[in-house]
Amino acid sequence: MGKGLLDGVKVLDLSRVLAGPYCGMMLADMGADVIKIEIPGKGDDARGNFPIINGESAYYMNLNRNKKGMTLNLKSEKGKEILRKLVADSDILIENYRPGVMEKLGLGYEDLKKINPGLIYGCVSGFGHYGPYSGRAGYDIIGQAVSGLMSTTGWPGGKPTRTGTAIADVMGGLSCCTGILAAYINRLKTGEGEKVDVSLVDSMVSSLEIINIIYLCTGKVPERIGNRYEAIYPYDSFEAADGSLVIGAGNDKLFKILCAEMDKPELLEDKRFDCNNSRVLNHAELKPIIEDWLRDKKIDETVDRLLAAGIPAAPINTIDRVAKDPHIAEAREMFVEIDHPKAGRLKMTGNQIKLSNNKINTFRPAPLLSQDTKEILCKKLGMTEEDVDRLREEQVI
């Protein structure tokens, strides 16, 4: 694997499905040596997730690229002992079991730091490792529901809505990655290890930013308002002749330019729209005026026109448009091709972090189940092939 900023950093990834594997993927993309540890015979639950390409889950392949893979039965004493030996020579461990599971196995942070005091132990769970809800199961939809996100997503009068992607899992993975990297930098300075305890719910509560502040500062409970923004208008989606676009006229100056583009200077003298606060209060009356202007206009032409005038605007792209976009797909390389031994050549989502001196451009396929078990045990722990065969017979691996 090509070197990256995290070259030489050793990571054990015991996580499954999305949040933990996303964190491990970020570290692996940046050059860390990440070993994915799975249940023998079954592996990560995500190996069965749609879509399936030639028997392999693209869901799994996207989140576990750039990792090596081994299987290990952590319910067996020999399996636990192997993990402890790997931990002794590792920098970071990631897990997303329900709180208490690793502790019952004798593999929690307090147990493992006795073996490796400098270990960075990253754990992602639904509600965190302490607090009255810590024992509850956590899934993305639960994170979105409990945090309040779903209550504010959707249209007025509609039902609470989950976002189109598993945003609580993604935010949990990103938060865990951030915490791990901060703890690792501290360890370089002090030699001290750390437990990084990340909750899906906490991650989503943090991401709600202005939604929380509206309630905390005014007492008003935010409601579903569609694509509109609470603090600025026009900052919304609008219908044009061939689809939808967004316009972000975020201040009075930009609104003045928009009025000129629409040939409606009279709106600037209208008390309902003469300043941002007035436009926010009267958004329901301003939106149809803008959409009436857009009625016979194409989205791409209109976006180009507004951008040329200095007004932030964008088409609401379908994913096929995103995948062909010259900026996103080509210049920013947000879709990359990978050759997988079973699934064949396929496209995956690239990495969003762009570095000037250490480009993230190595993308190797996710491991087949137990693909690297023998290599890891022999090279890292000095086992012989006979030792590995014996462990296989005993269903330790």
Residues identified as active-site: 169
The residue with tokens 């693209």 is 58
- Three-state SS at 124: strand
Q: What type of residue is 209?
A: E
**Bond into 265 cis (ω within 30):** no
E-assigned strand segments in 188-343:
194-199, 235-240, 243-248, 313-315, 335-340
Q: In what side-by-side order are the strands of the sheet with 235-240?
A: 235-240, 243-248, 313-315
106 vs 176: CA distance, rounded Å: 22
Q: Which residues contact 254 (CB under 8 A, 6 or more apart)?
A: 248, 310, 311, 312
CB atoms within 10 A of CB 380: 17
Supply angle C-alpha 387, 392, 394, rounded to 5.
95
Sign of CA dihedral 380, 382, 386, 390: negative
- One-character DSSP codes across 65-94: TT-EEEE--TTSHHHHHHHHHHHHT-SEEE
| The two three-digit tokens of residue 12, written as one number | 């054990």
Distance of alpha carbon 64 from alpha carbon 71, whole angstroms = 14
- The pair phi, psi for residue 166, each rounded to 5°, is -80, 70
Which DSSP category does 165 fall into? Answer: S
Residue 169: name the closest of 124, 123, 121 by CA: 124
> Can you read off the two tokens belonging to residue 297?
């206009």
Return d(Cα 34, Cα 67) in angstroms, integer.
5
DSSP-derived letter for residue 366 is P
Question: What gap in Å lies between CA 172 and CA 200, rounded to an integer?
Answer: 5
CA distance 254 to 174: 34
* Separation CA 174–CA 97 (nearest Å): 17
